[in-house]
Amino acid sequence: MGLHVTTVRFHLDALCDEGTVARSRIARRGVGRPRTGYIAVRDRLDYQSLAEVLAPELGDTTQMRRRRAQRAGRRWAARMAASAPREALVTQGVPDDAESIDGRAAMIADVFDRMGFAPELSRDTGERQRAIRLHACPVRDLARAHPEVGCAVHLGLLQGLLMRPARAAVHAELEPFVEPELCVAKVIADD
């Protein structure tokens, strides 16, 4: 194709991030590092369609679906909280104190970053509150079609992440679709 290897690698990495291409290791005969190969992903599981089919199964009423989705989000947080790396707090310039509001907000921003939300942590919201601007919801279409499920799962996740450790007196709020492509999560210190 006449492209530099760095350019090709850049584009292949982007395709891997999208899930349309997968990396593989090609074993070498002899010495040296294994080579990296790439293969097209033919069929991907359509999680969006699956979520839309499952959403109405959470209950007959909007309120019931919202409660059950929040509970599922809190359970999900219990699994995820243990894997949130503490070094994320230090690399973002936040005190290494998971109990502080800055530490809690940084941990949540890290988890949401790993989930693909492209979070932006804002520290200019006062001493008792931190805002996390979520620019890229991975289930935006589901959240628009079924906010009682999509947004409630994310609120439950926020709440669950703040429950670990349970000593800090903070709570979470979620403002969905503040702008068409933006939601805002808030970590607020209780009085």
Least confident of 103-107, 118-122, 160-164, 166-170: 166-170
Neighbouring C-beta atoms of residue 81, cutoff 10 Å:
19
Q: Please, what's the largest Cα pairwise distance for the chain?
A: 66
Mean pLDDT of 104-119: 88
Start-to-end Cα distance in the chain:
63
Q: How far apart are the C-alpha atoms of 176 and 147, rounded to whole Å?
A: 8
Lowest-pLDDT range of 50-64, 82-96, 144-158: 82-96
**The pLDDT value given to residue 89:** 38
For the chain, percent of residues with pLDDT exceeding 70? 82
Domain ranges of the chain: 5-40, 47-189
Q: What is the dihedral of CA 51, 53, 58, 61, to 10 degrees?
A: 120
Please state, as a whole number, how many other Cβ atoms lie within 10 Å of the Cβ of residue 92: 16
Q: What percent of the chain has pLDDT over 90?
A: 25
At 170, is the secondary structure helix, strand, or coil? Answer: strand
pLDDT attached to residue 151: 92
Nearest to 84 by CA among 57, 112, 64, 62: 112
- What is the assigned CATH class of domain 47-189? alpha beta
Instruction: Give the Cα separation of 47 and 143 in Å (integer).
Output: 13
Q: How far is it, in rounded angstroms, from Cα 113 to Cα 136?
A: 10
What pLDDT digit, counting tens, does each position of 87-109 carry?
A: 443 444 444 455 688 888 998 89
Distance of alpha carbon 16 from its chain centroid, rounded? 18
Whether the full predicted model's pTM is greater than 0.75, yes or no, is no
Compute CA distances 93 → 34, 169, 187, whole Å.
37, 22, 18
Nearest residue to 169 (alpha-carbon basis) of 75, 108, 100: 100
